[in-house]
Structure 1
């Protein structure tokens, strides 16, 4: 039975929605003196209907955290290629612990699978990568991190609304501004969710009257499942499957931007490794993270949902692959990929692609979606295997 919130709760929720919908919050009112910035936040919160006592209690002792800014500017781990990155994150110990956690929380996973149709391997993989099954949740003060990142002006449209979501959690008794800690970017709990996502998708799965993602595995897992379902997860469908491609196959249609039915891929000679193809009428993308000589996967529609959780292609592919391992898939065939580029070479490649009119985003040395697509287009122009994997030969050809 759905329990309707009290009139007071409705008032605060309406005020919060109005506050987050204010156009100026997305782009203006960042930078300048930190204390002036905080005063502006407090004034807006009061004008939205929060009591002065609540606002003062939330912002009491708020401070700028320089460690947060350093962390924001040093995310070099995502520059590593898939094979190196996945081997770094996936160990037999993590697999064994995932198996034990699946058994320990079997009942909550059964609820999730029944309610949302999301395989336990998917959530176990997130749980493992985000916090090592809850062991490492981050020690950054969440309120300070959010205020620091909103003040920084790099992405105020992302972080500023999260401040007011945290304020609403504080009003509800589910957030302690002095003691709540998490990741440098403001994520909280065992599966690292932002305050706004906790407000919208949080589930009190253990029935204690609070949504506690830091200490309740049941709350964390059920909340993550509800969020994935809201983002469009297709119930009881696969997300990723390792495949083998035939020698000499035309790979110009590989990559997340291109889709064919599984039956069409099969007709081209693509075959599964661990399990048979279960849904041949569903469209999928052929993913070659390190080119046509390396690992190969078919990515199903649910794979796209991973990018709503994290924008890093390498992270997403590794998390999706680890989820298949937790469900019994074998270790991928690493193959013998062509040598990739160093950080300096990758940045030089991005500059040369920009000179040719390609939109690769910032020159950051990360092989993201835009850079991959530009590489593939140049490979086709030059008559090279168009697998979106940049090599020194491609760099020299450009």
Structure 2
């Protein structure tokens, strides 16, 4: 799911991270007033907000993303199946001309789009049944991330004026994304493409429109044409594990001098980071500059790593070598670890039981201080030492 703020650029120069909370009816009135201030006709605004309701199911979904607590191996095995791989390859053949257009125009490899298509909507078979307008207004009213969702309401209003959005009938994911690759209204305004030539951008029913729009979005976010994104590697056991993680970027040639070798093919002549999703005993990857663009699509490291790896599988890469990683922590243990790290002065963000970037950084720092392999993978041994 797209989680970028790039779409804010099209908005009028009003305060984006504005009001939230209070009575829902009052909040809707303030949105309508701001819409009129932006120049929208009063009747259009009234029609757009007519019947809007707060959706409690959206709030429950927002607070129940426990799937991202799962480690990479478990998460990737859950999402990647032979059936999904085969269907993806069949669709690659079916839409070969569309993917050729994408690769010529935007330089995004077909496996990348196929992986997002698979994970977001199971290749378009389930695109979500939440009313999009209600979801956006509900999430903007909630004070967790109003800076993300409030601008999307005005983007949806703009789509409505163009005949591309029905406030009563347009549906999608709980977080307001629409279509086969799940794009927010602002992203559609900025990157929507009529790839099938029917005069409309139809991301829910036209695979070419959805795929080309997704590719344009990635290109806009900084995707480097024709370059790889992630590659499985083997790593020597005498490696300095503190060099792993996205905070360290070295030329691939320097990694090679340290004994990092591609499992197949050659290392790209690019800067890269060594990624150990489950520590030095588990699978290992080099992440190239395009890998960082994935985080503009989704902020979850587990999701990003799985989507990036799945894209390589769709293009013929072997199943990764899972190794024998040390057992990870339960959600409760992870929360305990986060509290211990907070007590030691680390900013790990919310204590949520999820191994996010800031928790990984803190874990790696403590491992280094304690003389443990500094691979950023938290274990019971580390928890005990803390």
Query: What TM-score, normalized to structure 1?
Result: 0.94
- Segments of 5+ residues of structure 2 without an aligned counterpart are 1-8
Does the alignment pair 1:274 with 2:268?
Answer: no
Q: Paired residue for 2:11? A: 17
Match of 1:355 among 333, 343, 356: 343
- Deviations along 1:149-174, one digit per CA (max 9) or x if unpaired, are 11112111110000000000000000
| Structure 1 stretches of at least 4 aligned residues deviating more than 4 Å after TM superposition | none
1:312 aligns with 2:300: yes
Match of 2:283 among 284, 288, 295: 295
Q: Distance in 2 between matches of 1:100 and 1:177?
A: 35
**Post-superposition offset of 1:247:** 1.7
Match of 1:331 among 319, 331, 335: 319
Query: Once the 2 structures are TM-superposed, how far is the Cα of residue 53 of structure 1 from its aligned partner?
Result: 1.8
Could you say which residue in structure 1 is the equivalent of 2:235? 245
Q: Secondary structure of 2:90's match?
A: helix
- Counterpart for residue 397 of structure 1: 385
Q: State the partner residue of 2:174.
A: 184
Per-residue CA distance 1:310-336 (angstroms, 9 max, x = gap): 000000000000000001000000000
Partner of 1:5: none
For 2:371 and 2:21, how far apart are their aligned partners in 1? 49
Q: Which runs of 5+ in 1 are unaligned?
A: 1-14
2:359 aligned to which of 362, 371, 385: 371
Equivalent pair of 1:16/1:164 in contact (CA under 8 Å): no
Q: CA deviation at 1:16?
A: 6.8
Distance 1:253 1:132, change over 3 A: same
State the TM-score, normalized to the length of structure 2.
0.97
| Structure with more contact order per residue of length (Cα contacts < 8 Å, sep ≥ 6) | 2
- Calculate the aligned-residue CA RMSD, in Å: 1.4
Q: How much has 1:286 moved relative to structure 2?
A: 0.2
1:346-393 alpha-carbon deviations (Å, 9 max, x no partner): 001001111111111111000001100110000000011000000000
In structure 1, how many angstroms separate the alpha carbons of the residues matched to 2:10 and 2:314? 40
Given that 2:160 and 2:166 are in contact with CA atoms closer than 8 Å, whether structure 1 keeps it comes out as: yes
Using the alignment, how far apart are the partners of 1:57 and 1:158 within structure 2? 24
Return the offset for 1:275: 2.0
Contact 1:16 1:48 in 2 (8 A): no
